[in-house]
Structure 1
């Protein structure tokens, strides 16, 4: 099952609030999500997210998350993201997150933090600009979507070499 991008973003924010991930700026969050989604595609042949990455100037971006967290600029994200929905005639803020029992997804998130969490947002952005990245190989910087097949193909060898669990 693919999660909303917000649910997985909130999982990374949770880890930051727990002190397990430092300096979680909006740019860093976007790139960690990029790697988590790409690795899941490469290792399990299934999307982690129900959203898409667009080709933006500073690398792959999920536009809806950009707008949710842009107020933080280059600073750390301090609170969970969410959506306003109407329930029983009242507006309620929902803050989705990966389910506590989904051990495989939490293990992936923790492995992504272990491998990429020490890098800054700018460093991760630079990494996504490498000539063999899906961002570089799928077209112009025009806001267009990066196909999941390319995300998987471009990280498959890296993900396998980092010993990420392939269990569901």
Structure 2
């Protein structure tokens, strides 16, 4: 199974230098849409409902203190660990979400129920390390996908 680091590496190979906040959101959306389109977890690492949106603590630990990363400054992960369908999913995520800034992605994330529900009524700027469950991610994004196809 791939890891969040493998997905991050693949994203950076495709995008070049991006902010760590944007990398976090693109990894989150890769996991979310992988659950919908591939019907499996792309990687096992979880995301938490931080004030800035969904954040993988494991990924954060690797880029802590950095503002931007690129493949050369972020040597973790191996994109060859992703399957063809997983790469296709990430490519679609990049095609749709890649045009947004990090702040726009955070704002979008703040409007979605997996992040909102995990925070359980906390104000948007309050600190939280509540896990955004895989079930809530799959349910929410499956609902979006089904409503768009209808």
**TM-score scaled to structure 1, two decimals?**
0.75
Which residue of the other structure, out of 81, 89, 100, is the alignment partner of 1:119? 100
1:8 matched residue in structure 2? 7
2:63 matched residue in structure 1? 69
**Greater Cα radius of gyration, structure 1 or 2:** 1
> Any unmatched runs of 5+ in structure 2?
121-126
Q: Does 1:54 align with 2:48?
A: yes
SS at match of 2:54: strand
CA RMSD across the alignment: 2.2
Decide whether the 8 Å contact of 2:28 with 2:54 is kept in 1: yes
> Any unmatched runs of 5+ in structure 1?
18-22, 83-94, 164-168
**TM-score scaled to structure 2, two decimals?**
0.83
* Inter-partner Cα distance in structure 2 for 1:144 and 1:102: 30
Which residue of the other structure, out of 36, 53, 71, is the alignment partner of 2:30? 36
**Aligned residue pairs: how many?**
142
Give deviations 1:96-144, integer Å, cap 9, x for gaps: 22327822111111110100000011100010100x4200022345202
SS at match of 1:72: coil
